[in-house]
Amino acid sequence: MTEGGPSRTALTAALMRAVHTRLDRPRLIDDSWGDRLVSAAEKAALYVRILEGADPEAKARFERLGSQQAVIDAALRAHDTYGGVVIRSRSAEDALERAVARGVRQYVVVGAGFDSFIVRQPVFARDVDIYEIDHPASQAMKRQRLDECAVAVPPNVHFVPADLSRESLSSVLARCGFSGSLPAFFSWLGVTIYLPREANLTTLRGVATSSAPGSEVVFTYTDQRVLDGGRSAKLEKMRADRAAQGEPWLSGFDPTTLASELGGLGLALLEDLGSAELKERYCAGRTDGLSPGRIGHIARARVGSA
């Protein structure tokens, strides 16, 4: 991300969730907020990037669609990460709902970006304290956009500006009213690939050391083996595009060693869902082509023993 504003990936993810809400059936999530929170100027810039990055055949196809909105919708739905963005939100919120049913009343969104859960809270979350931890520039931009939309942020929401590259998660949680003696649920979506390995381990260790036994974390990651070698030309282009935007891919995890790594941090791996498992759980019977992608995983771990 740039120092003065939110990351392009955060903006694009918000738009992807909105496109899914408008166009895909059945919906996995109901989240149209990206259409409101992403500015007209940002949408226009995305439209230009889409046309500039398209090959001649794709560009001609886009231009025949006749509108900026139609081009953006088509390009985002065709992007390799589209299904994964939608599915990770649904998966995390499913796990959160189960945690709340067990009595959890603290929800920590790490690297919240333009996630809109705070303003579309389902009934089950109304009594939950929600802590949004994000880079100060991104969080300030998000709050500004909410103000511009005349959105009243619910009283159970706590905005926590923090640069986790300079301050540990443990330190952040200690200063924001979070209770380390009560169980909590953490979501950390779409972030780990953009951080160095040690930063990812430090954040997960912070979850384990700062929250009560029984707390859970859901996080996404990319298979390190894919990042290390054997990448397709399409994947290489995605990697180059991210680097050009100032958000290079830095690290992943190895699914074969994830459980032992988490164990060393004080976390017990409960499930690790790869492409096949996610497709079976969330995409079975669909006819719209929604797919979780090929290289992303969604892991869920618990503080203490399983």
Confidence at 103, pLDDT banded by 50, 70, 90: very high
Please report the pLDDT score of residue 4 as a whole number: 52
Share of the chain above pLDDT 90, in %: 88
d(CA 263, CA 72): 42
* Model confidence at 73: pLDDT above 60: yes
Q: Which sequence spans correspond to the domains of the chain?
A: 8-78, 82-303
pLDDT at 2 over 70: no
Residue 57: CB partners within 8 Å, gap ≥ 6? none
Region 228-236: mean pLDDT is 76
Question: 275-282 and 82-101 are packed helices; what angle lies between their axes, rounded to 10 degrees?
Answer: 70
The residue whose two tokens read 């929600």 is 130
Q: Which of the residue ranges 5-9, 97-101, 267-271 would you say has the lowest mean pLDDT?
A: 5-9
Question: In this predicted structure, what is the pLDDT of residue 190?
Answer: 95
Q: Report how far residue 216's alpha carbon sits from residue 99's, in angstroms, rounded to the nearest whole number.
A: 8
On the question of pLDDT at 297 being above 90, the answer is yes
pLDDT at 247: 87
Among 34-38, 116-120, 302-306, name the one with the lowest average pLDDT. 302-306
How large is the average pLDDT for residues 252-278? 98
pLDDT band at 145; cut points 50, 70, 90: very high
The pTM of the full predicted model, rounded to 2 decimals, is 0.95
Which own/partner contact pairs does 138-143 have at CB distance under 8 Å and 24+ positions apart? 138/1, 138/5, 138/6, 138/7, 138/10, 138/112, 138/113, 139/112, 141/5, 141/6, 142/6, 142/37, 142/112, 142/113, 142/114
Per-residue confidence (pLDDT) for residue 3, from 0 to 100: 52
Read off the pLDDT of each residue in 32-48 and give the average, rounded to a whole number: 97
What is the per-residue pLDDT across 116-144, written as a single tens digit (0 to 9) for each?
999 999 999 999 999 999 999 999 999 99
Three-class DSSP category at 57: helix
Whether the predicted pLDDT of 231 surpasses 80: no
The alpha carbon of 67 is separated from its chain's Cα centroid by a whole number of angstroms, namely 28
Question: CA 131 to CA 255: how far, in whole Å?
Answer: 29
What pLDDT was estimated at residue 49? 94
Mean pLDDT score of the chain: 94
| Element (DSSP H or E) covering residue 217 | strand 216-222
Q: Which CATH superfamily is domain 82-303 in?
A: Vaccinia Virus protein VP39 (3.40.50.150)
Q: Could you read off the pLDDT of 157-199 as tens digits, one per residue?
A: 999 999 998 999 999 999 999 999 999 999 999 999 999 999 9
